[in-house]
Chain A
Amino acid sequence: MSVVTVDGLALRFGDRTLFEALGFELERGELLAVLGPNGTGKTSLIRILLGLLEPSAGSVVIEGCPPQERCHRIGYVPQQRIFDRDVVLRGRDLVRLGLDGHRWGFGRFHPEDRARVDAALAEVGAEAYADAPLGRLSGGEQQRLRVAQALVADPVVILADEPLLSLDLAHQRGVVDLLDARRESAGTPVVFVTHDVNPVLHTVDRVLYLAPGSSAIGTPDEVLTSETLTRLYGTEVDVLRVRGRVVVVGTPDDQHVHHVENGH
């Protein structure tokens, strides 16, 4: 029984089609990487899965329920955006918002809620700076707290939208490992949007590649090949494997060339 079922999904803005006839199922414990150049609808797909954007056609069902009805908790890790230095919020408060920030009133902080926040903080190793003002923390520390915020409510699925952007390599690996650990321990499936597959390559089960006007889904070995990407882009594209890393050369915007530079 799959956790997420996407069927015949299409998204159009005016006469511009971002994607169509998109279909996949996400099983428990599965990690799906969503790849592709800018402007192909990766973030829009996440917004549809969150129930924030209405697709032009097709359906999404998460544990038997459309996402806009919000029957289930969805963990969301956004692109890292540094908090204002002045924001009146500690790491602990950020995580708590993930638990009950959407409820009315002041809310009493029950001991069991406090325990869940503490557990989430411990899970991402953020106890040391949980009580420091958020704005004074580094980007990597803030992003760890983001992961804790997504995990604290025991989500049925985790959606991560470029969560590694502007993180250094150590923190990139840290964030990937945290999501991977939750996937192992609780079987929570993960949708991971990224422009660079390499930081998650070791843990990816399947890849959804969104190219302008077409898409492909399958295991990394099926999708990340010269043949598949050449077909998707309609132009000669080479996929090279260099020391266990995937390097894509020859896409129209050459946006993957930088893969070579930020190697491990």
Chain B
Amino acid sequence: MFIQLLGYHFVHNALWAGAVVAVVSGAIGVFVVARGMSFAVHAISELGFTGAAGALVLGISPVIGILGGSLLVGLVLGLLSLRGRERDSAIGAVLAFGLGFGVLFITVYQGYATEALNLLFGSIVAVSDTQLWTLAIVGAVVLLGVAVLYRPLFFSSVDPEIAAARGVPLRALSVAIFLLLALATAAAIQIVGVLLVLTLVITPAAAAQRLTGRPTLALLLSIAIALVSTEGGILLSLAKPWPTSFFITTISFSIYVAARIVDWSRGRQSRLISSPPRRMWAVR
């Protein structure tokens, strides 16, 4: 049965779509985690949902709605380029307001409820050829953007003060990362759904961060973890008819927990080896 399923076209489409989304999410996630933007990811994906619901009401493709919604909120958050608590509360306010519209659209929409449910939790098995191509183009745009902006984006994420002193345009990069994130989120929504986008954008990068201090290696690890979670999740859902999203989140979370354990045990060893006085003046 399982082997038979592997021969089907829709399974191939699912695996390819999953791969595209995993690579894109894993790559962008590294910057999202470095800049502490997890809550923004959540807001962008929920507003993507509002956009998709609005598109359903208007009778156009929900993908257009997802893109529109997440790009709009990404642009606004990027232009504000807020930091710290102000960003946190601003995102909360925007998120709640946008969801209100989402509820309204879903209520007004007269179509099948499953379409709305698919938006929330993802529907990997229903990826058409057209959708796959759209995904591939969106993914290529995001990866190209990350490649071109890599060094200044990384500089401004980890060391904004010196980056600014060097003439790196912080605000423009903030807008750029939010727009790239919006595109990546719009892509990920179609695989894992609005509610579980964090599992592909945040969890792999957060796990990679625990495993290495090397920026390039962290990027590659994050992509690899996202790939293993997505493809593993899709394959498992062929064997057992539970939701794909469940398998994807479970795999990525297991890897995250494992990474934390590895990190913790390494820290314990080095604490046992290193002499205590060196740390004495490190504590402020």
User: Which residues from chain A contact B34 at a C-beta distance below 8 Å?
Assistant: 87-88
B162:A51 contact, CB within 8 angstroms: no
B147 beta carbon closer than 8 Å to chain A: yes
Q: What 1/0 mask marks residues of chain B from 194 to 211 whose CB sits below 8 Å from any chain A CB? A: 000000000000001110
Contact flags (1/0) for A60-82 with B, using CB distance below 8 Å?
00000000001000101010011
Q: Is B246 at the interface (CB under 8 A from chain A)?
A: no
State in angstroms the CA–CA spacing of A86 and B210 once bound together.
Answer: 7
Are the C-beta atoms of B147 and A90 separated by less than 8 Å? Answer: no
Complex Cα gap A25–B161 (Å): 26
CA distance A9 to B212 in the complex (A): 47
A135 to B162, CA, bound (A): 17
- A residues contacting the other copy or chain, number (CB 8 A): 40
List which B79-102 residues lie within 8 A (CB) of chain A. none
Measured CB to CB, the residues of A under 8 A from B are: 50-52, 70, 74, 76, 78, 81-83, 86-90, 93-94, 97-98, 100-107, 131-135, 137-140, 149, 166, 168, 171
Would B215 and A101 count as touching, CB distance under 8 A?
A: no
Q: Which residues of B contact A (CB under 8 A)?
A: 30, 34, 147-152, 154-155, 158-159, 161-168, 208-210, 212-215, 218, 278-279, 281-282, 284
* B279 surroundings in chain A (CB, below 8 A): 138
Contact with B213, one of A82, A134, A166, A168 (Cβ below 8 angstroms): A134
Are A138 and B147 interface neighbours, CB within 8 A? no
The answer to whether A166 and B165 touch (CB under 8 A), given A87-B34, A88-B34, A106-B147, is no
B209 engages A88 (CB within 8 Å): yes
Q: How far is the CA of A106 from the CA of B147 in the complex (A)?
A: 6
CA A37 to CA B87, docked complex, whole Å: 32
Cα A137 to Cα B149 in complex, Å, equals: 28
Which of the residues A78, A138, A166, A168 comes within 8 Å of B161, measured between beta carbons?
A78
> Which chain A residue shows the least CB distance to B216?
A106
Q: Would A102 and B164 be within 8 Å (CB), given that A88-B209, A89-B215, A139-B284 are in contact?
A: no
CA distance A137 to B282 in the complex (A): 8
B160 to chain A, nearest CB (A): 10
The answer to whether B155 and A74 touch across the interface, beta carbons within 8 angstroms, is: no
Residue pairs across A and B with Cβ atoms less than 8 A apart, 18 shown, are A51-B167, A74-B165, A88-B34, A88-B158, A88-B212, A89-B159, A97-B154, A98-B162, A101-B162, A101-B163, A101-B166, A104-B151, A105-B147, A106-B151, A137-B282, A138-B281, A140-B281, A149-B162
Q: Which residue of chain B lies nearest to A141 when distances are taken between CB atoms in the complex?
A: B282
Q: Which of B166, B208, B209, B214 contacts A102 (CB 8 A)?
A: B166
Q: Which residues of A contact B213 (CB under 8 A)?
A: 88-90, 131-135
Closest Cβ of chain B to A89, distance in Å, is: 5
A88, A90, A103: which has the most chain B beta carbons within 10 Å?
A: A88
- What distance in Å separates the Cβ of B31 from its nearest Cβ neighbour in chain A? 10
B168's partner among A78, A101, A135, A171 (CB-CB below 8 A) is A101
Contact status B155-A97, CB under 8 Å:
yes
Cβ of A93: which chain B residues have Cβ within 8 Å of it?
Answer: 214-215
Smallest Cβ distance from A110 to chain B, in angstroms? 14
Chain A positions within 8 Å of B281 at CB level: 138-140, 168, 171
Determine the distance from Cα of A93 to Cα of B34 in the docked complex, in whole angstroms.
14
Q: Known: A70-B167, A87-B34. Contact between A102 and B158, CB under 8 A?
A: no
Shortest Cβ distance from B166 into A: residue: A102
Q: Which 9 A-B pairs have the closest CB atoms?
A: A133-B213, A138-B282, A101-B155, A76-B165, A102-B166, A88-B218, A50-B165, A70-B167, A106-B150
Residues of B within 8 A of A83 (CB): 158
Instruction: Provide the bound-state CA to CA distance between A86 and B155, in Å.
Output: 16
- The interface residues of chain A lying within 8 Å CB-to-CB of B208 are 88
Decide yes or no: A86 and B209 within 8 Å by CB, A94-B159, A101-B152, A104-B149 being known contacts.
yes
Give the distance in Å from the alpha carbon of A70 to the alpha carbon of B164 in the complex.
12
Which of A101, A133, A135 has the most chain B CB atoms closer than 10 A to its own CB? A101
A86 to B218, CA, bound (A): 12
Closest CB of chain A to B250's CB: distance in Å? 24
A178 to B16, CA, bound (A): 54
Closest B residue to A106 by CB, please name it: B150
Q: Which residue of chain A has its CB nearest to the CB of B163?
A: A101
A102 with B163: in contact, given A97-B155, A132-B213 (CB under 8 Å)?
yes
The answer to whether B209 touches A52 (Cβ under 8 A) is no
Are A82 and B154 within 8 A (Cβ)? Answer: no
A105 lies within 8 A of B162 (CB): no
Please report the C-alpha to C-alpha distance between residue A98 and residue B162 in the assembled complex, in whole angstroms: 8
Residues from chain B with Cβ under 8 Å of A107 in the complex: 150-151
How far does the Cβ of A82 sit from chain B's closest Cβ, in whole Å?
7
In the bound complex, what is the Cα–Cα distance between A166 and B164 (angstroms)? Answer: 23
A97 to B166, CA, bound (A): 10
A105 x B151 contact (CB < 8 A): yes
CA distance A101 to B162 in the complex (A): 10
